[in-house]
Amino acid sequence: MALTLKLAGKHAIVTGSSKGIGAAIAKALAAEGASVVVNYSASKDAADAVVASITAAGGKAIALQGNVAKPEDAAQLIADSVAAYGPIDILVNNAGVFDFKPLEAITPEHFHRLFDINVLGTILATQEALKHFNPAGGAIINTSSIVSMDSPAGTGVYNATKSAVDGLTRTFSKELGPRKIRVNSVNPGPIESDGVHAQGLLDTFIKLGEATALGRIGQPEDIGPGVVYLASDDAVWVTGTTLTISGGLK
C-alpha cells in the first residue's frame, strides 16, 4: 500500500527558515509533500542549503528573500510565493530574534528590534498571506516559546514578544475561524539553536535540558513534527491552541 503524505499538494511558507528551528520545520513540511518556500532575510547561502537538502530528498522548495518586519518585503515575499506555487495553504510565522537582556540593559533599540521582527513581522506576513490563502482554508502556525509561560529572569523583552505572539494566536484564531483557517502556535523549550550558540548560552540550555522530564536539550528537528501535525488534517478541529514542545520542562 502506497504511503499517503499528509501535506501532499499543499503550499507552505516558512518565514525565517534558513537555519535552526525554521530550517527543520521547512524540511519536515517538505518531507510530508508540501511545496515549501524557505524565507530568509540575509542568509542566502544557508537558505539555498536548506533548499538543496529538501530537493535532494525528493521534496520541492525554493528560497525567497524578505525581511517580514518591512511591509514591502512581506508583500513581495507572499507575491513571489504565490507566483511559484499558487494559493497558500500553510503559513509558519517563524522569523524571530532571540536575544536576552536583563532589565537594566534594555534599550529602545533592543525593544523595537525584537518587537518589529517577532511581533510586527508575524502580523505583516499574516496580513499579506490572507490575501492569497486557499479559499478552502488552511493553517497558520506561529513559533512562540516556553519563555512566554515560565518567564525566566533576564528575558523581559523577548518574553513580552512571545507572550504577544501567543495572544495573536488566540485572537487571530477567532477572527479567521469563519474562513476555515486554523491558527495555532508551537512553544519550544530549550533548543540547541543558532541563537543559543551566538549568545553563549549553550551550557545554560544544556542544564535546562537536563532538568526536563526527558533529560536532554531539544534539537530543531524535535519541533518539525509538531508543526506538521498542526498544519495537517490531523488537527482539523484544533485552533487557538499552544502546543508546548519542551521535553517536559516545567
- Which residues participate in catalysis according to the annotation? 158
Q: How far apart are CA 208 and CA 145, in angstroms?
A: 14
39 bridge partner residues: 64
* C-alpha cell of residue 58: 525528493
Q: Is 42 exposed, middle or buried (0-12, 13-18, 19+ CB in 10 A)?
A: exposed
